[in-house]
Amino acid sequence: MTNKRPKIALIGAGQIGGVMALLAAQKELGDIVLLDIPQAEGVAKGKALDIQESRPIDGYDAEITGTSDYADVAGADVVIVTAGVPRKPGMSRDDLVEINLRIIRDVAGNLKTHCPDAFVIVITNPLDAMVYAMQQVTGFPTHKVCGMAGVLDSARLRYFLADALDVSTSNVQAMVLGGHGDSMVPLLSTANVGGVPITTLIDEDRLDAIVARTRKAGGEIVGLLKTGSAFFSPAAAAIRMAESYLKDEKTLLPAAAWLDGEYDLRGFYFGAPTIIGAGGIEKVVEVPLSDTEREALHASAGAVQTLVEGIQL
């Protein structure tokens, strides 16, 4: 019998990496290793020590360490990748492709050597292209590599809907599918509050405004922060995915997943509802779509495919 705690490697100890370390520790998901480049090793070590020192207050026993040495993440069960550069005001996610592709290639090469059995969740933007690059360079099974975007985009939509109706956010179910960019597809046909269709509760103009705000929600935060992009909610979203994997929950969560014919799309990563359990992405779920939603999903797929075809691995 083994009673070792799961090992969670966070590649990138920046804004999202630091919050993920705290959340994973507070949820007692396992031991956590924060890894960054040698120039930022002090940041990784400093954040790890800072969180360790909160352990007596919060009352958990997970170990949190910081490093720049991949030997320390060897054998990780889950790897979450934020290594890269975030947006600044005026930039689109796609503007990051060149610089972040170089970083993802480097990270993927190291993960291939040190964490061959991990479930890998990519957060680095532009998300759909970076998760594709991660899988191609590592050669890991497609169901063991995915991207975080849908949980966050859906949470934003759910929050805006709950706020408009002044109801509990946990009562609102709604999903955003497609690419993690302006072409993302918020699904209103299945959105509901405790089972009551959202379209019967909010008029069309207000729903249109909420959809538009959801599509631009990342940019809204970049515009306010000015020095980077959202980090609390992206961290919470990725940790939720890691939790479903580590606890074999089989929760339905939207993720950037490898499509193999689902939604009549094939051979690239794209935001779709998935079941995440001990097998990784155990299933891509096909939900009924209205004609307009199906059309929007295919337009979004076209935008992602163009970006992916342009990257040099």
Give the interface with ligand A3D as residue ranges (CB under 6 A): 11-17, 36-37, 40, 82-87, 96, 100, 103, 106-107, 123-125, 127, 148-149, 152, 180, 228-231, 234
Bond prior to 38 in cis (omega within 30° of 0): no
- Give the nearer residue to ligand A3D in terms of CB position, either 229 or 305: 229
- Residue 284 pairs in a beta bridge with 274
- Give the nearer residue to ligand A3D in terms of CB position, either 148 or 193: 148
The span from the CA of 174 to the CA of 192, in Å, is 7
- Give the nearer residue to ligand A3D in terms of CB position, either 108 or 207: 108
Residue 155 CB, shortest distance to ligand A3D, in Å, is 10
Residue 157 CB, shortest distance to ligand A3D, in Å, is 13
For residues 182 and 157, the answer to whether their CB atoms sit within 8 Å is no
Q: Can you list the positions of beta strands (E) in the chain? A: 7-11, 31-35, 64-67, 78-81, 119-122, 145-147, 172-177, 185-193, 196-197, 251-260, 266-277, 280-284
The span from the CA of 103 to the CA of 250, in Å, is 31
Residue 46 CB, shortest distance to ligand A3D, in Å, is 12
Annotated active-site residue 114? The verdict is no
Question: Residue 61 burial (CB < 10 Å; 0-12/13-18/19+)?
Answer: exposed
The span from the CA of 62 to the CA of 59, in Å, is 10
- Give the nearer residue to ligand A3D in terms of CB position, either 127 or 297: 127
Residue 32 CB, shortest distance to ligand A3D, in Å, is 15
Question: Residue 12 burial (CB < 10 Å; 0-12/13-18/19+)?
Answer: buried
Residue 25 CB, shortest distance to ligand A3D, in Å, is 17
200's CB contacts (< 8 A; 6+ apart) are none
- Give the nearer residue to ligand A3D in terms of CB position, either 145 or 202: 145
The span from the CA of 54 to the CA of 177, in Å, is 37
- Give the nearer residue to ligand A3D in terms of CB position, either 12 or 273: 12
Helix (H, G, I), strand (E, B) or coil at 174: strand
Residue 237 CB, shortest distance to ligand A3D, in Å, is 7
Q: Which residue is nearest to ligand A3D (CB)?
A: 14
The span from the CA of 204 to the CA of 165, in Å, is 14
Report residue 81 as tokens: 């990748």
Residue 164 CB, shortest distance to ligand A3D, in Å, is 22
- Give the nearer residue to ligand A3D in terms of CB position, either 104 or 202: 104
Strands 280-284 and 266-277: antiparallel
C-alpha radius of gyration, the chain, whole number: 19
Instruction: Please identify every residue annotated as catalytic.
Output: 180
